[in-house]
């Protein structure tokens, strides 16, 4: 999608602090970190949110979780939180599917 921030980051048109990239996805550090470790994992393909996951793209979503597990191992973070906000009320500010990976501090539950 031409006017989507994360599509532009995936295409390299907007710079990011890249952590990992393959043909299907990209991981980069959040510009406004909410924990000592805070990165985002996104598909290169535009999917608006987790509400748009279906049989046609769920293999890609599974791949994103494989990448999350691999990066967590590489970074030595055994305890972490994976968050995907869907819609305005839940706090989604970028309408391109992304998984936040947060670690390095105590987390509270329930989330705010």
**Interface with ligand AMP (CB under 6 A):** 5, 16, 28, 30-32, 85, 91-94
Asked if 98 is an active-site residue, the reply is yes
Nearest CB to ligand AMP, comparing residues 5 and 19: 5
CB of 97 closer than 8 Å to CB of 63: no
Q: Is 112 exposed, middle or buried (0-12, 13-18, 19+ CB in 10 A)?
A: exposed
The partner in contact with residue 91, picked from Zn ion, ligand AMP, none with C-beta cut-offs of 5 to 8 angstroms by kind, is ligand AMP
The partner in contact with residue 94, picked from Zn ion, ligand AMP, none with C-beta cut-offs of 5 to 8 angstroms by kind, is ligand AMP
Distance separating alpha carbons of residues 4 and 15, to the nearest angstrom: 14
What positions carry a catalytic annotation? 98
């Amino acid at each position: 999608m031409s006017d989507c921030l994360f599509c532009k980051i995936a295409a390299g048109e907007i710079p990011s602090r890249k952590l990992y990239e393959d043909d299907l996805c990209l991981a980069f550090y959040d510009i406004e970190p909410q924990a000592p470790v805070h990165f985002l994992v996104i598909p290169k393909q535009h999917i608006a949110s987790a509400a748009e996951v279906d049989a046609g793209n769920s293999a890609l979503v599974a791949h994103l979780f494989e990448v999350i597990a691999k990066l967590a191992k590489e970074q030595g973070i055994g305890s972490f939180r994976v968050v995907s906000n869907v819609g305005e009320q839940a706090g989604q500010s970028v309408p391109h599917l992304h998984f936040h990976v947060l670690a390095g501090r105590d987390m509270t539950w329930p989330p705010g």
